[in-house]
Structure 1
Amino acid sequence: MLFLLKHGINTLTGWFVLATLVLYLGSAFDYLSVLWPTLAAWIANMAMWRTLAPSAKRQVGWLMGIGLAALSFAAFKGNWMTWEKIFAVNIPMLAMFVAVSFLDLTNATDQDRSLPKGLHAILNTAVGVQVLGAVINLSAIMVFADRMKGAKKLTSTQQFVLTRNFSAAAWWSPFFVATGVALIYAPGMEWQKTLIPGLVMGLITAILSSAEAYQKTKGDFEGYPIRRESLLTPLFLAVSVIVGHFIWPDISILVLICLLAPGATLLLMKAPSRKDRLQRFVHDKLPRIGSQFSLFLAAGLFSSGISAVIMSYPELFNLDNFTFSPVMFALILAGMILMSLIGVHPIVTIAIVSPMLLPLSPNPTSLGFLFLSAWAISAGSSGLTGVGVFMTSRYQIPAKTIVKNSAFHAVLMWLLCSIINSVFL
């Protein structure tokens, strides 16, 4: 192992990332122990550690440190956690993340057409980045923003149209990492029941952000030159997941995505040599997702620590006198959104909240919708979480501008989510 770390890890990093997906599928169908994808994920994490930004290293370091300290304290109290609950909590989610990363290979940019203007351009951009982002995730923002800014600087109005609508896909897309998080931290969640409410929230976000952008720019908004064919892949995959789950109801949504995303990529990607492009993807693209690997592994360890401490002091964290009511839903969602404004990633707040609420036996679909809503609103309005940091570092949009642009949006979405949960879930 030491020789591998010194000499071969740079070239093998992408293969360890890919192995996390392949070995997880083997464990999901009971061909392999979950130990193997767990080892692959942690080795990949160690290999990618040096590529992390200092801020990411600090956040991950604090999460792991607190998690290990909490686990040690709980063990001293006699509450031991199994190695699976400590190191393998988020392995399914990481496998899904690797799977959907393949979909980036199906995307094609269009540099020849001029940028459209007006209300139609705003709506096309809002819907386009949400639908495309629902499948290829953060790559969609980069494709849209790079094309829209050209040789100029991305405007704050363009920023909030892209950020809000991309993040809104978390409400309804089975390919968004938020869905994997919700399925793991809200056991028993039925994703199909959150699909319609989620689509409603996504549509409302597109309409309201477009109207606000039109009001601010008086129609002088340069949007993305969307093409119909660019939306075929997201629609094809969404239908495939729904049909696949209908045919094989015993296979979880998460496992279906892990199977369908790479398969659809091989079917739909266009390249002179698929083999060469796939090799470049494994060698160059996969090793760049170190921040996600580190954050999700650290969040799993952190969550296990929190759970262990709660088990050690059941009387202190006893919420038996409470129920997971619509009021509690609204209050917790507000707290999770506020935490994101100071830089706490949604995966961290979800990891804290989940072990405290699960003993209440909440409606798992309502709990899942809480997590999806926290992710969608936080990612769309915070300047210090993943999407906000990306916009700040790549397009020089100040974090305070992102928060200022979307403060009212966050409050309104919080209110609408609370109402939808109360009425429908």
Structure 2
Amino acid sequence: MKPEFAKIAGWLLFGSLVLSIVSAFTHLSSFWAGVPVWVAAFLLLPFAKPNQKKQVIVLLVIGSLCLMFGVFHGIDSRYLLVALEANQKVVNMLIAVGFLKICTGSGAADSRTLPKGRRALLRTLLGAHLFGSVLNMSSVIIVGDRLARQQQITPVQGLLLLRAFCICAFWSPFFAAMGLTLVSAPGSQLSTLVLYGIPVSLAGIAVSAWEILRQPAAKELHGYPMAWDSLWMPCFLALVVIFAHEYFSSLSVLTLVSVTTVSFTALWLILNQGIQQGSQKMIQHIESGIAGSGGEVVLFAAAALLAAGVAGVLTSLDLHLAPAHFGYLEASITLLILVALAMTGMHPVTSVVLAGSVLAPTVSDPNLLGLTLLMGWSLGISLSPFSGVQLSIQSRYEISAGTLLKLNWRYALVMYVVCFMLLWFYCR
């Protein structure tokens, strides 16, 4: 991507972030924050990865046709505003969390000797999970590149990176999965989703640890030099957001995450580098770093158009595709469908939006739907060879899709049973 395009897109998305935060505290209509997202999305679309670009174009075409159909059949303007918002709160949460990369210089970890053995791998799994719960995909690259400098990443180490990241989607408030779920399942509560998501995460970590540590090569493999100075930040920020949500319940979780992460980054820069140098770092990230999330931005914008279009068609035709009763059995079937869609290459953003559009209007318990969407996201990206994290690991560390699939299918079956049991327990 040309630097000038990255600079323009960066300032547009930062402007959207500012407008989004302002709209949360004032009477400014939130759809205004979606306008710069759409401008940036069309600017960034030519630079998206080929597979992602095809999917985005399909979503834009289908969403536009559905929305036009709804307009010609008399739907009201709220569906147009939903499309115009471009999932701006989720996009802006993603942009805000990206600022935390400034605070995670890897210099200290680069100077440490890599530990080796089963204990080192277990600490890496736990640490990379906590690290990734805030930094998202960046954590996979930071940890993976450090391991790759020691020697070629093995399939077992690649599996560790994949699991540590994917399991975050069950519970992390900083993940796009949580942000989109709270939007797609209106009325769902962060505290409930986290409370029930953490046990599933612990089960996922336990299953992954058992699989990884029993590998014969585990005792000879290197792990990442995890230490408190790497992990205090994600733990601190997660607690701040969770407790702030209890005291400022009128603010959306997405807004709280955005405000918390940007404020933390600004304060960290001022305390460590001073106002002048800190400001330069922020500007540098806006002009060159934000555009790195361009693929996600165009996907979220296109998904917003699709959601508005599908909802408009269902309303105009008075169709109700959701089951009359949505309990643990229906949730488990939905979860299976979400994983199956992920295996076809459909991005979880698209499948979650579609599921939310169809089910949310009639589901009586939005938390049950929210848990189902989070589970579908996590299991889908961990199993599908087409997920973004798998494609990154495959290409960056030369691990074949077939190898990861062979290492993952048992985990997916076990975790599906775990999810089924938790959904049953929740409904009971």
Which TM-score band (shorter chain)?
A: over 0.9
CA-to-aligned-CA distance 1:337-379 (integer Å, 9 cap, x gap): 1111121111111111112212323311111111111111112
| Structure 2 counterpart of 1:70 | 66
Match of 2:122 in 1: 123
Q: Helix, strand or coil for the counterpart of 1:114?
A: coil
Secondary structure class of the residue paired with 1:150: helix
Matched ranges for 1:355-366 at <5 A: 355-366=357-368
The question of whether the paired residues in 1 share the 8 Å contact of 2:3 and 2:288 is answered with no
Q: How does 1:247-286 map to 2 (within 5 A)?
A: 247-269=247-269, 270-271=272-273, 273-286=277-290
TM-score using structure 2 length: 0.93
Matched, 1:323 2:325: yes
Q: 1:97 matched to which residue of 2?
A: 94
Q: Is the 8 A contact 1:271 1:277 kept in 2?
A: no
- Structure 1 pair 72–228 and aligned structure 2 pair: CA distance change class (3 A): same
Tell me what 1:296 maps to.
300
Larger mean Cα displacement after TM superposition, 333-342 or 195-204 = 195-204
Q: TM-score w.r.t. structure 1 length?
A: 0.93
Conserved? CA contact 2:7–2:288, under 8 Å: no
Residue identity over aligned pairs, in percent, reads 28
For 2:34, the equivalent position in structure 1 comes to 38
Corresponding residue for residue 167 of structure 1: 166
Pick from 41, 45, 54 the counterpart of residue 49 of structure 1: 45
> Are residues 1:305 and 2:330 paired?
no
Q: Does the Cα contact within 8 Å between 2:35 and 2:85 map onto a contact in 1?
A: no
What is the alpha-carbon distance in structure 2 between the residues aligned to residue 208 and residue 394 of structure 1?
25
- The structure-2 alpha-carbon separation of the partners of 1:89 and 1:10, relative to structure 1 and needing over 3 Å to count, comes to closer
1:80 CA displacement: 4.9
The separation in 2 between residues aligned to 1:222 and 1:125, in whole angstroms, is: 9
* Residues 221 and 152 of structure 1: CA distance in aligned 2, closer, same or farther (over 3 Å): closer
Q: 1:260 to 1:384 in 2, by over 3 A?
A: same
Secondary structure of 1:359's counterpart equals coil
Relative to structure 1, the CA distance from residue 362 to residue 389 in structure 2 (aligned partners, 3 Å threshold; closer, same or farther) is farther
- 2:364 is the alignment partner of 1:368: no
Corresponding position of 2:177: 178
Q: 1:275 to 1:318 in 2, by over 3 A?
A: closer
Structure 1 position 160, deviation (Å): 1.2
1:8 to partner: Cα distance? 6.3
Q: Residue 32 of structure 2 contacts residue 85 of structure 2 at CA under 8 Å; is this kept in 1?
A: no
CA separation of 1:324 and 1:7: change in aligned 2, threshold 3 A: closer
Distance 1:36 1:13 in 2: 16
Indicate whether 1:19 and 2:1 are aligned. Answer: no
1:267 Cα offset (Å): 2.4
What is the CA distance between 1:124 and its match in structure 2? 0.7
Deviations 1:289-330 (A, max 9, x none): 110100000011111121122223335x4446x211111111
Whole-angstrom CA distance in 2 between matches of 1:197 and 1:74: 37
What is the total number of aligned residue pairs between the two structures? 418
Please state how far the C-alpha of 1:186 moved relative to its aligned partner. 0.5
Matched, 1:194 2:193: yes
**Aligned-residue CA RMSD (Å):** 2.0
- What residue is the counterpart of 2:355 in the other structure? 353
Unaligned runs of 5+ in 1: 1-5
- Measured after TM superposition, the shift of residue 245 of structure 1 is 1.9
Aligned mates of 1:77, 1:247 — CA distance in 2: 43
